[in-house]
Copies of this chain bind each other. A is one copy, B any other.
Amino acid sequence: MSHGPRERLMMAAIELVRERGVEGTGLSDLLERSSSARRSIYQHFPGGKLELIDASTRAAGAFAQAAIREFGATMSSRELVTAMIRLISDSLSGSGFRLGCPIAAAAYAPADTIAVLDAAADAFAGWAAEIEAVLAREGRPEAEARSLAGFIVSGVEGALLRARASRSTEPLDDAADQLTRLVQDR
């Protein structure tokens, strides 16, 4: 079964969190958008809403990480950066600037929801690791590759944050320009 209640709930959670954040997403919205029964949440996620958010964040993070890895297999770091930003930019403007990054939204969850914060941190770390591999393949020293890879994730996320708030792709365009420069010159 490829779209049982569990999958539908996680998809709805990812989308709603992108639009309203963790605390802004209620169970009723979740149930309505996923067309599932209230009981199904606790059947698949005994820990309730937070466990659902945790699992959804990790799934979204893994999905994006796989995409980065796929891109990275054939692209240079410079091409990878532009491809990532283009995808993000299209996704943001295509949703009327409503849908941000589900991981970033999870990263700004309340400070005491450690599980959600960890899920976000792990997703970011996974992305950085993929980018780091590409940079290392291009001959960068390990320490430099690690630092640069981490900062690429930060720069992209920060630009997306600003782009959603200002309802403009300009921050993302700027990030593409500057990150390209940063990755290019050595």
Residues of A within 8 A of B (CB): 19-24, 97-100, 104-111, 117-118, 120-121, 124-125, 146-148, 150-151, 153-159, 161-162, 164-167, 170-171, 173-175, 177-179, 181-182, 185
Are A21 and B20 in contact (CB-based, < 8 A)? no
Contacts of A24 in B (CB 8 A): 22-23, 109-110
Given the interface pairs A107-B165, A111-B98, A162-B107, the reply to whether A181 lies near B182 with Cβ below 8 Å is yes
Partner of A21, one of B110, B154, B178: B110
Q: Would you call the interface of chain A mostly helix, strand, loop, or mixed? A: helix
CB distance from A162 to the nearest CB of B (A): 5
| A153 to B101 alpha-carbon distance, docked (Å) | 18
| A23 to B110 alpha-carbon distance, docked (Å) | 10
CB distance from A32 to the nearest CB of B (A): 16
CB distance from A177 to the nearest CB of B (A): 5
Q: How many copies does the complex hold?
A: 2
Contacts of A173 in B (CB 8 A): 147
List 16 additional contacts besides A107-B165, A154-B175; criterion CB under 8 Å: A21-B108, A23-B24, A106-B165, A107-B164, A108-B161, A108-B164, A117-B165, A120-B165, A147-B173, A147-B177, A153-B158, A154-B171, A154-B174, A157-B157, A158-B161, A182-B182
Q: Which of A23, A109, A118, A165 has the most CB of B within 10 A?
A: A165
